[in-house]
A and B are shown apart, each in its own frame.
Chain A
Amino acid sequence: MSITAIIFVLLLLAAYSYFIKRQKVYALYRTQSIKKSKIKQTLPKYFGYVAALWSLVPALLVLIVIQIIDEPLVKSSLADYIQSEKIVIGDAADDFDLYMNEIKNMSIDELESADPEKIKVFNQYQKFQSISNYAMTIIVLAMAILMTAFGMKKVKINTPARVIFEKFIEIILLLAASIAVLTTVGIVLSVLFESIRFFGEIPFTDFMFGLEWSPQTAIRSDQVGSSSAFGAVPLFVGTMLISLVALFIAVPLGLMSAIFLSEYASSRFRSIAKPVLEILAGIPTVVYGFFAALTVAPFIRDLGESLGMSVASESALAAGLVMGIMIIPFVSSLSDDVLSAVPTAMREGSLGLGATQSETIVKVLIPAALPGIVGGVLLAASRAIGETMIVVMAAGLAANLTVNPLQAVTTVTVQIVTLLTGDQEFDSAKTLAAFALGLMLFVTTLILNVIALHVVRKYREEYE
């Protein structure tokens, strides 16, 4: 039976146990003896739920386990078969995987043209497949029926059905909440694993401190330019350069907008201006990238030329400028939160002593809110470092080691994208390098985030 059919049967069984159990408890509740005694605390439906869980959950768990062990089992028995029949397919493990794939993807029409040995293996494979399918169906359904019967007997009138059911739901909720942890573990493992393989080929120090980045892997060993260099310093510098340009734009503008909105603007102006700033935050980054590459970058290049400077058409300035504008709303909403958390007493004290509003803001509010603002800037920096589409579309691909914002630089994220969107095999140093860069990116932003969140929380507590 197919898995959907099995699950359907399981659901039917669960529905059956639910209704039967509920009906039984209903009937019991109506009998005089129970009406008089006071054990009628639990609604009948909860007994039904628990009975349904008995018939559903164990069988589902068994199904999942079988699904996981099914494929390796079939594979290994097929390997045994191949060995016993003395069919030669090459000895490396990779060859075997390839062979398995071929067998799996064989269709009926191909059978006529394939060589007889393969047909033999294919038939054997199908045999194993059907055996495993039968076994799965029988085991799961037997489990379900057994557990249904067991549940019917086990759930009695004095079972704390509601408590059991609610505990079950609570566990489900906890599992949902744990997915966040699982995701983080998944991210760390996936980038770490590949990075370790990468560092097995390229020494860690070469990667961290090397000044040259040209990730070609040669197809032939005598090819021109076959030497590849994985020194990531130019990428780090490029990323920092673009992020600095972005922060240079976003921090003053974002902070000043936040100050104006929270301290000066009328509530009507605020009610219009805030959503407009939010629109700026809601525009997809690919749109910013398009705008940066096709409108801002040529504009800056032409402007530079008219001033007699040579500006690259993929200058760091253009990408940074647009990225800066993208994170303005981010900075401004964070600073807004922070500024409004400063106690009114401090504000009023300063105003009462005769300071003007701007003096109050500059000399009282900002110093008081400084930790929070710094936290916001760090978060903005982590966002700028991790931003991908703007730089992919508007920054260069060549890794120049320069701090001149008028030249083209490349960033960590750009390289990850270019390394992984091409057609190369997964094991090449080139692809693995992308994961090493991903690890660097993850660690950097993680550190920035942890510090920022810590600073912001500390600061909030101070005024609470």
Chain B
Amino acid sequence: MNKVTQKVEKGLKKRYMKEKIFKACGLVSIGFAFMFLLLLLTDITIKAWPAFVQTQIELKLDLSEENLGLNAKSAQEEIKQADFRAVIRSALKKQFPDVKKRKDRKELYSLVSFGAEYQLRDLVMDNPNLIGTRSSIKLIADDDVDAVVKGTINRNDDESNRRVKNLKLSLIEGLEENNQISKQFNWTFFSSGDSREPELAGIKGAIMGSLYTILVTLLLSFPVAVAAAIYLEEFAPKNRFIDLIEININNLAAVPSIVFGLLGLAVFINFFSMPRSAPLVGGIVLSLMTLPTIIIASRSAIKAVPPSLREAALGLGASKMQTVFHHVFPAALPGILTGTIIGMAQALGETAPLLMIGMVAFIVDIPQSIGDPSTVLPIQVFLWADSPERGFLEKTSAAILVLIGFLIIMNAVAIYLRKKFEKKW
């Protein structure tokens, strides 16, 4: 063996070691990213879990005619005016006759949600036969009760740093002993709009807002992006202006989204005086933002269509326009659709530009059209995350889960489309 070989062999072990360490570093990096993703998803899922369950209190309510001032023939309007709060309060008073002090009474009344009287009202309006009966009805519990029942508030904590004080806790335990507290799937969360009370807050308004916004975005950005991509790939001559367009598209793809919000605020709201907080403006801003994404994806899909297809069509006497619209575009469509769905998913999760155009308002009503003030899912998450009420923590996480659910569905569709229709030419 000569000297060089010896030298090489001597260092070999060390070099192999280094190789192994290097490889391990790579694996650890990926592992770190995975671990973080897992941590994030589990953390949010665990936090969100309780939000899907609603605590209810079953009370024996005296719905007698004199109590409500109604009879079986009362009109809907009259029922609307009736004092259901008093009915609920008297039922609570009857059950806990020992609670006498004014302050304690207040605690007692706050066992059921602020919205329970409206829940009862709607129930009676739907079902007027209830008038004149004594019936057990399940009412939505207050968020504090909810937290105690679910164990989010620890009963064994010291009273001084427990949100629910001893009196209320004993009341809750009294209800529990009577089996009056029950849990069921939280439909309210999916069927109502935003509310200041965590137990009444839902995401339907935000989902509808998101839907309208995405609809506007899709209707505006898809045709424009496809037209632009076709032009740039198939028709554009080589000149300065086309270069300018291409540079612009690439740059716009990297402009921070909040800048698009500033554009929306200055141009659409202040200059064109479009309505604030409306999905219409949100959709326009988001479509400007997703335009580059869809254009870039569509261009690569069009580029992937083999020239032989074009040449065959041209050779048979089709014009350039006919070639493109009858042959190239259909062949590129799956790729274009995939890009569009990914762009829409991006738009669905976007928050910052919508903050700028005033979609952060507290809106209870469910939007009915693209001109109504509304909010969107990510902004609902942002609003609830900011809320000091503890009950909103689980709602926030649940809203995030719903949002991520939508995104996963969209991406799955995109992947399916790609797998199913993608042709290797």
Contact = CB atoms under 8 A, between A and B. Distances in A.
Interface in A402-429: 413, 416-417, 420-421, 426
Interface residues of A, number: 85
B244 A181 contact: yes
Interface string B190-234: 000000000000000000000000000000000111011011100
Interface string B154-169: 0000000000000000
Interface stretch (B19-27, B50-58, B114-122, B366-374): B19-27
8 contacts: A180-B291, A257-B26, A283-B404, A286-B351, A287-B40, A329-B33, A358-B23, A421-B358
Given A259-B26, A417-B352, A174 B231 contact: yes
A47 to B, nearest CB: 15
Interface residues of B, number: 85
Contacts of A389: 351-352, 378, 382
Interface stretch (B174-182, B255-263, B306-314): B255-263
A280 B263 contact: no
B262 A417 contact: no
A437 to B, nearest CB: 9
A218 interface: no
A190 B268 CA distance: 10
A329 to B, nearest CB: 8
Given A264-B26, A286-B381, A358-B23, A446 B255 contact: yes
A421 B355 contact: yes
In this complex, the member of A287, A288, A441 whose beta carbon has the largest number of chain B beta carbons within 10 angstroms is: A287
Interface in A351-405: 354, 356-359, 361-362, 379, 382-383, 385-389, 392-393
A252 B349 contact: no
B423 interface: no
Interface stretch (B60-68, B97-105, B136-144, B245-253): B245-253
B259 A357 contact: no
Nearest to A42: B319
Interface in B299-341: 319-321
B251 A446 contact: yes
Given A257-B30, A291-B40, A413 B256 contact: yes
Nearest to B266: A190
A453 B254 CA distance: 10
Nearest to A326: B36
Interface in A304-346: 325, 328-329
A383 B255 CA distance: 8
B321 A170 contact: yes
A180 B248 contact: yes
A260 interface: yes
A292 B72 CA distance: 56
B291 A260 contact: no
B186 interface: no
Given A358-B23, A386-B256, A421-B360, A190 B30 contact: no
Contacts of A190: 262-263, 265-267
Interface string A250-266: 00111011011100100
Contacts of B262: 187, 190-191, 416, 434-435, 438
Contacts of A193: 266
Contacts of A441: 256, 258-259
Contact of A172 (B227, B291, B356, B385): B227
Interface stretch (A136-144, A198-206, A271-279): A271-279
Given A169-B321, A290-B385, A421-B355, A177 B267 contact: no
Contact of B44 (A172, A174, A287, A361): A287
A179 interface: yes
Contact of A260 (B29, B227, B254, B260): B29
Given A180-B248, A181-B244, A328 B266 contact: no
Contact of A361 (B22, B319, B355): B22
Given A178-B245, A276-B34, A325-B36, A287 B270 contact: no
Contact of B18 (A166, A358, A387): A358
Given A173-B231, A177-B228, A325 B19 contact: no
Nearest to B407: A282
Interface in A433-452: 434-435, 438, 441-442, 445-446, 449-450
Task: Enumerate the 4 nearest inter-chain pairs by beta-carbon distance, A residue then B residue, closest first.
Answer: A386-B256, A260-B26, A284-B349, A190-B266
A171 to B, nearest CB: 10
A386 B255 contact: yes
Contacts of A1: none
B356 A420 contact: yes
Contacts of B8: 354
B263 A386 contact: no
A282 B411 contact: yes
In this complex, the member of B252, B256, B404 whose beta carbon has the largest number of chain A beta carbons within 10 angstroms is: B256
B235 interface: yes
Contacts of B345: 282
Contacts of B37: 276, 279-280
Given A282-B411, A286-B381, A289-B385, A257 B256 contact: no
Interface in B354-390: 355-356, 358, 360, 378-379, 381-382, 385-386
